[in-house]
Amino acid sequence: MSLKSSTKAEEANLYSLDIEIAADAFEAACQKAFAKLKNRISIPGFRKGKVTRKMAEAFYGKGFLYEDALDLVYPEAVEGAIKEAQLDVVGTKNADVKEIGENGVALTVEVYVKPDVEIKAYKELKATKKKVEATDEEIEAKLHELVHRNARIIAVEDRAAENGDTTVIDFEGFVDGVAFDGGKGENYELKLGSGSFIPGFEEQIVGHNPGDEFDVNVTFPTDYTPELAGKDAVFKVKLHEIKTEELPEVDDEFAQDAADCDTVDALKKSLADEIKTQKEEQNENEIREQVFEKLIENVVADIPPVMVDSELDNRIRDIDYRLSAQGMNFETYLQYMGMSVEDYREQQREDAEKAVKLRLALEKIVELENLEVTEEDLDKEYEKLAAQYQMEADKIKAIISADSLKKDLSVQKASDFVRENAKVTTARKPRAAKPKTDEADAEAAPAEEASAE
């Protein structure tokens, strides 16, 4: 494409690009735009697809193609101007068309560039981790979970429903005698006491026997969906079946069957190890959070607002994608939360700003420490992604460019570098205060001690 461009700084991180698109390049775009529109252009007395460009321009005006033509040449023109100016652009603020017509196009585009970043400190950032141990209570809780996972479900026929039972019910809800959407279910398994239904619903099933048909009266919470919030409702319920858990005895045979351990003691040791591993992982996550929080505080940069807005857009796309997997969308989620899109963006803005600062800091550390991503690193990551998404590596490479992946991997290397160079101490339990014998001995015991990692 034939174009000219010039650049000037407007303010911190904001540049103005003056771009000129030559007449011949714009004419070619107009011809391409007409070819796309031709079969949809309608002029009285002529069939669609039979109208010439000259006829269409005479009927609609010479500039009727300009907007579509500009859409065709704009991306390449701006990209070329950015490349020529050697700018690291992070977003566009404004585009202003100064002139458009047979002589070509003159426009001005304001773009934000990646800001300069200063980091006051990124080595020996302090963090505290908890001492890792598995208490008897935690081991017993894990054992309790394992026992219930291996419970046998049996039908109950000789008593009424009790809290903790699983019931099989039909139900249909009515407000003012009219059934409402989403208020009906058949052969629905409901565990009493789980709190998965409207407050007061499960409690009214307790005491009923299989075969009973009865009404359940409830009031919807005020924070429920707008059409039902705060309203009284009646559910017609039929109880088909009551089920309960028959728990296995905790002995060596159970240890062997449930966890491939020889004895109950060996099973408890295995559970303790599992608890410790989970706590170590949690510790590591908390350490990184503490270290990154301090790193963010040490960042000095004039961040363009478009970078924060872009991060917010990414967060909304991500949550919408995850909600779609659950049969919901972002708009419905906001309705349940009683929020607008603007409310959500404001709620997330501070975290988005921190995420942008962290990314900028890590990218700066890549530069300062000369952290490099090797071809071997790239190949391993492509193989990992291929396995994760169950796709061929070549297809992953077609979706994710090597440059993009290399940038992400370099940021991960910077993240690991900051963590490895952090100064981490282990918090100890508070000492028990000694009894005070008189006021002269009234020295407070230290609230916490710490040892280096």
Report the distance separating Cα 16 and Cα 240, nearest Å: 72
CB 294 within 8 A of CB 354: no
Number of separate helices (H) and strands (E) present in the chain: 12, 14
pLDDT band, residue 452 (cuts 50/70/90): low
Given a contact cutoff of 8 angstroms between Cβ atoms, the answer to whether 348 and 362 are in contact is no
Q: Give the range among 130-144, 161-175, 321-335 with minimum mean pLDDT.
A: 321-335
Buried/exposed code over 306-318 (b: 16+ C-beta within 10 A; e: otherwise)? bbbebbbeebbee
Least trusted range by pLDDT, from 286-290, 401-405, 434-438, 443-447: 443-447
pLDDT digits (tens, 9 = 90+) for 186-242: 999 999 999 989 999 999 999 999 999 999 999 999 888 888 999 999 999 999 999
Mean pLDDT of 292-317: 95
Contact predicate 411/389, CB 8 Å: no
Q: Where do runs of H (alpha helix) occur along 50-166?
A: 53-60, 66-85, 136-149
Please calculate the CA angle 154-159-160 and round it to the nearest 5 degrees. Answer: 105
pLDDT digits (tens, 9 = 90+) for 170-191: 999 999 999 998 899 999 999 9
The SS3 call for residue 172 is strand
Stated length of the chain: 453
The pTM assigned to this predicted structure is 0.72
How far apart are alpha carbons 214 and 229 in whole angstroms? 24
Question: Residue 299's closest CA among 413, 414, 405, 407?
Answer: 414
Strands 126-130 and 423-427: parallel
Q: Which one-letter amino acid corresponds to residue 221? A: P
**For 152-246, CATH number?**
3.10.50.40
**Which of the four CATH numbers 1.10.10.10, 3.90.1170.10, 2.60.40.10, 1.10.3120.10 does domain 284-418 have?**
1.10.3120.10
* Residue 272 and residue 137 in contact, taking contact as beta carbons nearer than 8 Å: no
Q: What are 261-294's pLDDT values in tens digits?
A: 999 999 999 999 999 999 999 999 999 999 999 9
379 token code pair: 């190949």
**Rounded distance between C-alpha atoms, residue 7 and residue 16, angstroms:** 6
State the pLDDT at residue 2.
54
The CATH number of the structural domain formed by 3-114 is: 3.30.70.1050
- Residue 286 to residue 291: CA distance in whole angstroms: 9
Q: In whole numbers, what is the pLDDT of the chain averaged over residues?
A: 90
Q: Is 9 helix (H, G, I), strand (E, B) or coil?
A: strand
The C-alpha angle 408, 413, 417, rounded to 5 degrees, equals: 145
Judged by DSSP in three states, 394 sits in: helix
Instruction: Give Cα separations from 215 to 159, 201, 220, 241 (angstroms).
Output: 20, 10, 16, 17
Please tell me the distance from the alpha carbon of residue 217 to that of residue 232, in angstroms, as a whole number.
7
Q: Directed axis angle between helix 402-420 and helix 375-389, to 10°?
A: 100
The 10 Å CB-count burial string (b at 16+, else e) for 370-384 is ebebeeebeeebbee
> Phi-psi region for residue 372, left (φ > 0), alpha (ψ -120 to 50) or beta?
beta
Q: What is the DSSP letter of 369?
A: T
- What the block records as the tokens of 415 is 């993240």
For the chain, give every domain's residue range.
3-114, 152-246, 284-418
In this predicted structure, the answer to whether residue 451 has a pLDDT above a threshold of 70 is: no
Contact (Cβ atoms closer than 8 angstroms) between residue 102 and residue 94 = no
Burial (Cβ within 10 Å: 0-12, 13-18, ≥19) of residue 243:
middle
Using the predicted structure, report yes or no on whether residue 129 has a pLDDT greater than 80.
yes
